[in-house]
Every structure is written in structure tokens, then in C-alpha cells.
Amino acid sequence: MKNNVRPELANYMMMLAASPWIGSRRLFMTAEGQTQLVKLQGEFEKLLEEKKMNVTQIIDRVSLDCEEMIIQCSFNENEIQGRDCCRLFTPVPTFTGKCYVFFANESFSQLFSGEMGGLIITLHQVENDEPALVKGILDPSKWLKRKLQITLINNVTHPLLEVIGHGPMITPNTLLSMQVDLQTIDNVHVRKSPDWSESECVEVKDLAYGDSDDFFFTEGNCMTALYRECTVRLCGCSSYFQDNLDLSPKLCSVNTSNVCINQLTAFMTREVPEEKREIVNEVAVCASNITSRCRRVCSLSSFKTSTVSQPLPSYQMAELKQRFGLEEQDVLTLVTIFYPLLEYEEVILSRKSYGDLLSDLGGSTGVFLGFSFITLMECFIFFVFCLSAAFRKFLCRRKKSAAKDTVAPPEKTNKSPFSLQKSAW
């Protein structure tokens, strides 16, 4: 933040830009603190009237510009100067204030593996850009992450909440190497064709920050959408750090923002006091409406990062400063973001209902039982044939045995046994 307003008002503007969470509890818990908040809010509104600016313009005015920080970018051995590089970045409000986000697309694909094949950003760290810390306004224990920090997210995730503690600080006069491992998550098969209650997934190409509110209503941004929408419905005003100034023309004061956020966090706790139950039920209705609108992204990227920071030698720093036309006292930092190997892991998600599971089990069981029944019948028929053959063989042997043991009776004739048979001539 450029230190061009008095420290007390600058501290108050930091809470407007980065949420009341960084404020001292004394401001919200004591009558003296409440009086000070009302006074500072009046000063801020007067400043807006004098400068004829809205809250976004005034925060942009006192914040660092992209060109003040980025000297040069290089990607796939192509060097992009600071002004042109900043055109690739979009200013986005977050819970840590104003951030510059690079929403990469297919044209920024790493062509070869290794650190020099990735994105290299040369940063100029501006000194004395912070206002003096006024005792009793900002909480020093919540204002620990200062200066520049960098956070890696996919290009369909809003950085509103992600930047809180998800990125390393950029140390002056160092080389910060960020190694990225990519995992793609395929959500296309989560929805079954006959499932009418499940919405279709949304393609990444249809999501772009600033084009429409559809960007916020995805599963990854659902909590962000809840903060944006429900605070406006509950309190009737908007806040810079929640990126919802387009939803309400009325600006929330720091005190009002603190009340709204506390109501939302009360909804997320397990035990709700009786005096807060009514407002929590109202938040629950709002949250239910928001989450019902959140859709899956068909193909989502997920990153795992590991960072290594090492100091740059003094001779190398001197050469870089001379190259970029900087003074000796200026502070430089190099950040490299790269894939060590041009490989990624793919995860395919699918979902089955109890009906699908029973159907698959029933089909498989039916097939196995069908084959088992046919095999059983074949075995039974073979066994019957064997018994029949053995029984016939047994009967034949019995008949032969009976024939040997029995003498046939003499043949009955009219002739005497002593008569002679006449020969035929």
C-alpha cells in the first residue's frame, strides 16, 4: 500500500481491503473502539467524496501497480517486458487485499522439462510501501504475512480464500523455485445418464473470471459464492475483499463486515447459541440456495507444489540490476514456476447409486449363477448316463450268470425217442 494517507486511515483502509480479521479485537469489543470505527468510516467516506472515486478506485490508487512490481517475464525462452507482462495479469480482490492473478490458458504450455522451461518472473520489491502500524487498530499477530507472496491455483478457482496461507512469502534478493506436480480430475462420469436430478458438468472453456457469475458457482468456488451472496442478503451491503461490489451499491463499513462474517462463521460451527439460532437458520437457507447452484467442472487441475528459496550471489544481483536499469539499493527477486517432468496424473471419478450397485451385482451374480446352473445340469446328465451304463452292464452280467446255472427242459414231440428218422433221398 502506498503510504500517501495518514496512518490511522491507512490502517482502516487495510481492513476494508483485506477484511476485519486483521483488526484488533478492541475495536469491536469496546465502546471506545466502536467510536473510533465510526470516526474512521466517516473520514473514508469524506475521502471518497473529495477524490470523486469509488472504493475500488481508491484502493487501486493506494495499492501497488503491477508495473511497479514486475520487471520482466519469460516463458519458453521468450522474454516479455514488464508492461506487456502485466497485461496478462488481472487484479482480483481477496481476503488479503488486492492480488494480481495470471489466468493461464493453452497458449502457455511448457514445451520442455526443467526449471528454465517454465515461467520466470523478475520482481522488484518496493521498499517503504507499508503504512505505519497504529496501536489498537491492526492486530500485529494477524499481520504477519507482509510484502509479496505467490499462490498457485488452477485457472477456474477464485483466489478469494486460497491466498490465505496457501503461498510462500517472496524473500528479497533470492531465487524462489516452485516445482509443480499436476493432477487432472475427470468429473464427466460422476453423473449417470438417467439421473435427472444431477446437473451436467461445466467445461473449463465456459468459465472466465469477470464474464459472468457462473465462474463463482462451481464446486471449487462454492464457499466464495456463499460469502459473496449471503453477506449481501443478510447485511444489505457489499465489501471490496469479498469481490461483491457488483451485487450492492452500498458499501459495508468495517464494523458491519465484521458482524456479517461472524454470522456466517456461526452457521459453520457445531453448537449454535439460542440467541443466534434465528439468524443461523436464515444463513442456512441462503447457503442451501447457493450450494444447489454450484456445478462440477468437467476437467479440473490440481497442483502440488514444493518450493526452494536460495539467495542470489551479489555479483549476479549487480549484473541483473545493471541490465534492468535499477539502482544499487533496489531489491530484486526471481521466481520460477515449472514442471520438472512433462507428466501428469489423471484421476477419473465416477459415482453409483444403490440401484446401480445392485444392478451390477445382480447382473454379475446372474451371469455366474447361470453358468453354474448349466454346468451343474451337464454334470447331472453325465452322472445319469454313467449310472444308466453301469446298470445295463450289471443286468447283462446277471443274465449271463443265470443262463449258466439253469438246464433247459426236453423238447416235447409226438415221436418216440427210439424212432428212426426217414432220410430224404
Encode pLDDT of 325-355 as tens digits: 888 888 899 999 999 988 888 888 877 666 6
In tens, the pLDDT along 204-226 reads 888 989 888 889 999 899 999 99
Is 356 inside any structural domain?
A: no
- For residue 98, the enclosing domain spans 7-348
- Report residue 16 as a C-alpha cell: 476494508
Is 372 inside any structural domain?
A: no
Per-residue pLDDT, averaged over 240-262, amounts to: 90
Give the distance from CA 40 to its chain's centroid.
Answer: 38
In tens, the pLDDT along 141-196 reads 877 666 788 989 888 999 998 888 778 888 888 999 999 998 888 888 776 655 56
Q: How many domains does the chain have?
A: 1
How far is the C-alpha of 169 from the C-alpha of 314, rounded, in Å?
Answer: 21
Per-residue pLDDT, averaged over 309-323, amounts to: 90
Is 388 inside any structural domain?
A: no
| Number of Cβ atoms within 10 Å of the Cβ of 239 | 28
Is 415 inside any structural domain?
A: no
Is 193 inside any structural domain?
A: yes
User: Helix 7-18 to helix 55-62 angle, to the nearest 10 degrees?
Assistant: 120
Is 417 inside any structural domain?
A: no
Give the distance from CA 335 to its chain's centroid.
Answer: 24
**Res 424 pLDDT > 60:** no
Percent of the chain with pLDDT over 70: 85
Model confidence band, residue 409 (pLDDT cutoffs 50, 70, 90): low
Distances (CA, A) of 347 to 133, 182, 219, 321: 47, 11, 17, 45
Is 420 inside any structural domain?
A: no
Q: What is the CATH number of the domain that holds 75?
A: 2.60.470.10
Model confidence band, residue 417 (pLDDT cutoffs 50, 70, 90): very low
In tens, the pLDDT along 78-101 reads 899 989 999 999 999 998 888 999
Decide: residue 130, CB within 10 A, 0-12 exposed, 13-18 middle, 19+ buried.
middle
**Res 375 pLDDT > 70:** yes
Model confidence band, residue 378 (pLDDT cutoffs 50, 70, 90): confident
Predicted model pTM: 0.77
Is 2 inside any structural domain?
A: no
